[in-house]
Structure formats: C-alpha cells, structure tokens
Structure 1
Amino acid sequence: MERVGFYLTGAQPVERVLPLIARAAKKQDQRMLVVAGDEDLLGRLDKALWEQCPEDFLAHGRADAPHAERQPVLLSQECSAANGAALVALADGRWRDEAEQFARALLFFDESGRDSARTVWRRFDERTEVTREFYELDAGKWVKRA
C-alpha cells in the first residue's frame, strides 16, 4: 500500500459523501472497491451511487451479481476486488488488514469512529513507505487537514 486516507464524514452519513470520492476516481479512470460488512449500508450506497448525481452516471455493481469483474465501482462485504481495483474504500469505518493489498485505502468514519481511526493511524507510524492523509468534510467538499 502506498497511501491511506482517513475521511471524517462529520454529521453526514457515508452514503451522502462517498459518491464524491467515487466520482473523482471515475474521472481518473480508477476502479474502486467499496467495502461494508452491513448489507443495509451496501444497499444505501448502491442507491446513492445511482441517485445522488444523475447527470454524472456512476456505473457500479455488487460483487455477488453477474459481471462483477466489469464494474468500475464494486460494492462488496468482502475486501477482495473482482474488478481489479487498486483503490478500496472501507465505508463502514472498520479497518481490514486485506486493505493493505491495494495501492490506496480510504477509511470513512464518523465521530463515533474517531478513536478506532486514530488507532489505525498510529498503526502506520513506522511505515515510511505509506503516506497518510486526513480529510474532513467542509461545506460539501473534502479538505485535507493532515
């Protein structure tokens, strides 16, 4: 892994803010894996990716559906990218060791997940080959704080 990003969603639910990152990944022709252990959260993310910005179509699909390998954005309960993604977004705030197999990992969390995100941050203290970045949502845009 080269980079790990920490994304504090603040008062916004992750399904409102993760599509911003998915759009940016699409513009850079990057494939993305979105991971959440909760099926309900995956459903909300699926709906948000279709509906949030209809003018900016975000093609995506589920890992358990046909043609998962073709999807530019793949939603899954597992941290395994059938679509060959180099970018993984951990949408439920839970770090997974498998995320280190990707070039870049994004950990989304709200205020209740701040302490566990700090623990993950410290996990990379001695890893000079990994760049850590911390982003916070400010007026609807991600702002880099560290």
Structure 2
Amino acid sequence: MTEVLFYHLSESTLEDALPGLLERSIGRGWRVVVQTGTDERRDALDQHLWTFRDDSFLAHGIDREPFCEDQPVLLTTGLENRNGAQIRFLVDGAAPPDLNVYERAVFLFDGHDTPQVEAARGHWTAAKEAGHAITYWQQTPDRRWERRA
C-alpha cells in the first residue's frame, strides 16, 4: 500500500512549495520523480530548480536527457519510473501511473485553479478505491502544511 498525500496549495505557488518538499525527500535518501502535465511546465520547473535559491540548487534532470536514470530528481511528463524513485510528485493535474511501485505519492494542486481541484478530487477517489493510505494537507497563512484529513 502506498502512502498518498494531497497538498492543497492555497498560500504559495508550486514553484515556492516544491523545492522544499524535494529537499526533504532527498534528505530521506529517496529518489524522486516529478510528473508534470506538459513539456512546457516540466521545462519551466527544470529552470526553476537550478535557480530557486541563491545559495543552493537541486541536482536533477529531465526525461529527454541522456542518463536520466542516474538523477536523484527526475522531471517527466511520462508514466515511467526511469530513475527508480521511491516517491512520485504529481503536479498540474497530471494523471498518475500505477502508484503501487512507490512508497509515497504526492499530489500538489493549486486551490485557486478549478480544473486542478477537480482533478485532485478524482485522484483522491481513485486512490481511496485502490486501498492506499490517504492524507490531505492544506497550507496555513504562514505557508506551513497542516493535516486536515
């Protein structure tokens, strides 16, 4: 059974929230795959992860580059787990693959974007029906995560 977390972005953007979540995942010794809905979003996140903080960057690659299977964080639009990740982040309403191969799956969705909220609801239902352990997290006004369900 996979632990499935739903992170409701209400106070910050994906670009603000994702790097910290990726750093924590890497800190646990996990390989990570981030699945986006479009090539454009994947490429924008690729650029952002190199420059999101002046004193740091996240080592990562994208699925169209050689040796992507060696990356600790892999950005993709596909369903494969090419880098052997233990955790999969799904953003922008990306349709998930079989989540059973992961220890954890994280759906990040923009609470101000109706199609993303509707997609998250559908993914919640599917994950629940599949028997996964599900939790729902929402941002507080100070951008911390609070478990709501």
TM-score band (shorter)? 0.7 to 0.9
- Equivalent residues of 1:79, 1:99 under 8 A apart: no
Higher mean displacement: 66-75 or 45-54: 45-54
Unaligned runs of 5+ residues in structure 1 are none
Q: Deviations over 1:17-51 (max 9, x none)?
A: 11121011011111100011311111221122111
Match 1:140 to one of 139, 143, 146: 143
* Residue equivalent to 1:35: 35
Q: 1:140 to 1:51 in 2, by over 3 A?
A: farther
Partner of 1:89: 89
Deviation, structure 1 residue 127: 4.7
**Aligned-residue identity in percent:** 30
Structure 1 pair 106–59 and aligned structure 2 pair: CA distance change class (3 A)? same
| Number of aligned residue pairs | 145
- For 2:39 and 2:128, how far apart are their aligned partners in 1? 33
- The amino acid that maps onto 1:107 is F
Counterparts in 2 of 1:126 and 1:59: CA distance versus 1, 3 Å:
same
Root-mean-square deviation (CA), in Å? 1.9
Q: Which moved more, 1:24-33 or 1:37-46?
A: 37-46
One-letter code aligned to 1:104:
R
Deviation at 1:54, TM superposition (A): 4.0
Q: Quickly say closer, same or farther: Cα 1:54–1:28, change in 2 above 3 A.
A: farther
TM-aligned CA distance change 1:143 to 1:51, over 3 Å: farther
Q: C-alpha displacement at 1:84, in angstroms?
A: 0.6
Superposition TM-score, scaled by structure 1 size = 0.87
Matches within 5 A, 1:1-146: 1-111=1-111, 112=114, 113-128=116-131, 130-138=132-140, 139-146=142-149
Aligned AA for 1:115?
E
Deviation track 1:54-87 (CA, whole Å, cap 9, x = no partner) reads 4343110011102211110000110212111011
Q: 2:77 is aligned with what amino acid?
A: Q
CA shift, 1:134, in A, is 0.9
2: distance between equivalents of 1:126 and 1:99?
12
C-alpha deviation, 1:90, in angstroms: 0.6
Alpha-carbon shift at residue 11 of structure 1 (Å): 4.9
Following TM superposition, the consecutive aligned residue runs of length 4 or more in structure 1 with deviations greater than 6 angstroms are: none
